[in-house]
Structure 1
């Protein structure tokens, strides 16, 4: 940039003088404002705004040293060109800012002549020309380790800087330095606490046959402290799945530290005896023995046996889990909250049967409770949103209807968790950490087989062989919660029923037949299609000498249910056999 002569004539009238009472009132306002400013950006905003208003300055900024470079963390009241050109410069520039950083001297330069008398270097001449400043103040921000930055004010008119004005600006710089150092210390602690909190959350969630887990833990953004929310999911040695959501009612490193101790202790206790009441009683003793008794710890912990659907849980001062039924109903589990950990009292367990395709939600109070929404309003709101999403609503992106059953795996749980957090307001500026864990039980994958049978008597034997072989192969595929054994236990009765139906199809309909078997882990469905016309399904008890008509009687006696319906080009007879007792 080509330098032009700088107008150093004191032709501008000085700004209107402020009285000592004005300065005292401004300092009091700054003190009040800084009491609520805990982040560096908030401190600088208060100081720069109040400083400009109290001194009549047109521009302000705070510069900090970064090695051999100087950068303005904030530079307000200047054009974009000035901010872009002078937001950073070297320590060897010979500027007033670098002088203050090196010496700690406060500079009150009331006119361009005073500026250039001490700092007649190209960079300063260019700055005066571009900014139009006629006076400047550069004040050291002195912390416990020395000069930590420079508070700058610029004026478009020459200034005399009375003793009172100098004292006011020096006091302002002192307030800024103290608040800035406190904010930096706080932000370091905040970063440490967040790192600790993140390190204690599981990197991946376990895969357990018959169950899936999705979780979200979103730090508070509207507030300033790190909360003590956490979650965990652990595959137990016996194949069951333990899940927990906890909350330490404190903030910062202390809360994160307590959270870590409880989380690690719980993981260890699970392998000794994972029963929820036992685990909570042992955690009670651990928390009661902690030296730091200022932090309240709440949690909800449960164990799912995906094979039977048995979900056992216990709570310690925590909101109850929410069960999302496959029918779209959302119900809170029976109260089992108990007292927070360490406060004593008997621990009780609640058991619920989690059906295939159903989901249970564990969450922290940050999901349901905010400064504007009390807990008792948030709980029914969560219930309402969950029921809507499961039974009536659509995906979070509006792409279509959503049902929990048929169960859609982890991706569906992830979408459900995201949608619930968004609907409850946890995706924006949250007052508290928001934690949600969704535990879903999946139905067994349906196994199928088909066989085309020619129109001859030997097809009944081929059908029985197909049933026998397929059910033997599927004998290990029992559904979670199936009341009896596997598919192999149904082989004898299934062969008898299918033989009757196939015989009717190939002999009476005189057409090829198609046999289809479907096993979902609990129920075997058999369907035989042929090209014959539908017939009346009324049962008739055959006489002693009748050689036909016994097939439907057998189906009615042995199957869970059966039926007949028309299909394109013919009819289909079907029946179902349940694992365990029929009916």
Structure 2
């Protein structure tokens, strides 16, 4: 082992932990780096909420038939008494890295945890070891153990501080990643709770909608969808996006969705008129810097001829019409400014299209088609192409496959709604 590598190792560890692999991936990469540059084996044990230890990482050099395989499955470790001499217990008790200069045989263990750890170290061929706590703010949540065999230069006190520093860096990154995932789960739950639980049944049409949170941040957002049936037999669909990625955007999203519902049920009218009234209602809230985009559409089913859909677009990406045969078309009519910009500017009259059997009408937010460093036209072209290739699928399956193909990275929130005019019972 090269003893002149601490600075390079610290730099490599820092770069690896910044790579955003998630807390599990960060731990595995940390163990791999320690094995590559400093140790023969690395073991990482984490504590659960009941302070039980579980082995989650084993990484190292295979030295014999009894050596654990790198990536060996996790294992719950035995409980231990307060004064256990097990490496894990020593590191947790002292709150600092500890050197085991001469690893004892398992037969000398005084408690179940010490025996389990010494048995593992024996399998690793460990002659010396260092155990360091993963600790944030005085709250330990795991331990890193690195070992060297008799064939390697033994660990000494000179490496203890280095391993302790690396463990501290790893603990900060892992804890932040764990908190991020917790916050992301809470944010996603909040967002989903403000969207409709179910969509109405509107035969002969099939309706499906999905909300997908971004994979790159934990904040809630303003993407939404809705569909309601009106007393005269028509029904409405809408997809919108309130600017921002925070709780305020989510609150405004919920407020906007319910205001639209109230306006529709109170006085149904042409979509452009409904959107105009919604814009005025939003302006009367006197909330500065609240803007939103929206496509609101009214569907008129017909048994005597083609059904039709009429829509108004408030600064939103254009709806996509996918016929049963032939190319898809983006629908550009019925446009106007986003909500919250200037309610006094007139809006275009709502646009209409026939809906023939087998056709599909798609609404979506910009997260589906926008990618960093790419022109929007490329995203729209990709969406049209993939929608055509998937149009024979039922709406639920269509949306799942479409989002996976068009926006696999999920750089932004996505709300998407598909309305299919049944050509068969599967729609």
**What range describes the TM-score normalised by the shorter chain of this pair?**
0.7 to 0.9
The residue that corresponds to 2:156 in the other structure is 161
The residue that corresponds to 2:135 in the other structure is 142
TM-score (norm 1): 0.59
CA contact (8 A) 2:264 2:274 kept: yes
Q: 1:319, CA displacement in angstroms?
A: 0.9
CA contact (8 A) 2:55 2:75 kept: yes
DSSP 3-state at the match of 2:406: coil
Of 116, 127, 130, the residue aligned with 1:123 is 116
Structure 1 residue 16 corresponds to structure 2 residue 10: no
The residue that corresponds to 2:381 in the other structure is 380
Residues 359-391 of structure 1 deviation map (CA, whole Å, 9 limit, x = unaligned):
32112223333347532022233334445666x
CA contact (8 A) 2:53 2:77 kept: yes
CA distance in 2, matches of 1:436, 1:147: 43
Structure 1 residue 43 corresponds to structure 2 residue 26: yes
Change (3 A) 1:182 1:241: same
Residues 215-268 of structure 1 deviation map (CA, whole Å, 9 limit, x = unaligned):
3444455x4546633322111343321111223454466654554343344333
CA contact (8 A) 1:248 1:296 kept: yes
The residue that corresponds to 2:294 in the other structure is 299
TM-score (norm 2): 0.78
CA distance in 1, matches of 2:115, 2:389: 68
Aligned residue pair count? 404
Of 59, 71, 76, the residue aligned with 1:88 is 76
Q: Within 5 A, what are the aligned runs for 1:275-354?
A: 275=269, 276-281=271-276, 282-283=278-279, 286=282, 293=289, 297-307=292-302, 309-325=307-323, 328-345=326-343, 346=345, 347-354=347-354
CA contact (8 A) 1:135 1:159 kept: yes
Q: Which structure's CA Rg is the greater one?
A: 1
Q: 1:190, CA displacement in angstroms?
A: 0.3
Q: Within 5 A, what are the aligned runs for 1:163-242?
A: 163=158, 165-220=159-214, 223-225=216-218, 228=221, 229-242=223-236
CA contact (8 A) 1:270 1:279 kept: yes
Q: 1:170, CA displacement in angstroms?
A: 1.8
Change (3 A) 1:425 1:330: closer
CA contact (8 A) 1:111 1:158 kept: no
Of 2, 8, 17, the residue aligned with 1:34 is 17
**Segment drifting more, 435-444 vs 99-108:** 435-444
Q: 1:70, CA displacement in angstroms?
A: 1.0
Query: What CA RMSD, in Å, does the superposition of the two structures yield over aligned residues?
Result: 3.8
DSSP 3-state at the match of 1:205: coil
Of 45, 48, 52, the residue aligned with 2:35 is 52
DSSP 3-state at the match of 1:342: coil
- Identify the structure with bigger relative contact order (alpha carbons < 8 Å, sequence gap 6+): 2
Q: 1:415, CA displacement in angstroms?
A: 5.2
CA contact (8 A) 1:300 1:314 kept: yes
Change (3 A) 1:298 1:214: same
For structure 2, which runs of at least 5 residues remain unmatched after alignment? Answer: none
Residues 281-333 of structure 1 deviation map (CA, whole Å, 9 limit, x = unaligned):
4357538958695x864332212222484423222332111223456353222
Q: 1:66, CA displacement in angstroms?
A: 4.3
Q: Within 5 A, what are the aligned runs for 1:362-401?
A: 362-371=363-372, 373-387=374-388, 395=392
Q: 1:207, CA displacement in angstroms?
A: 1.8
**Segment drifting more, 280-289 vs 53-62:** 280-289
DSSP 3-state at the match of 1:239: coil
For structure 1, which runs of at least 5 residues remain unmatched after alignment? Answer: 1-14, 397-411, 446-583
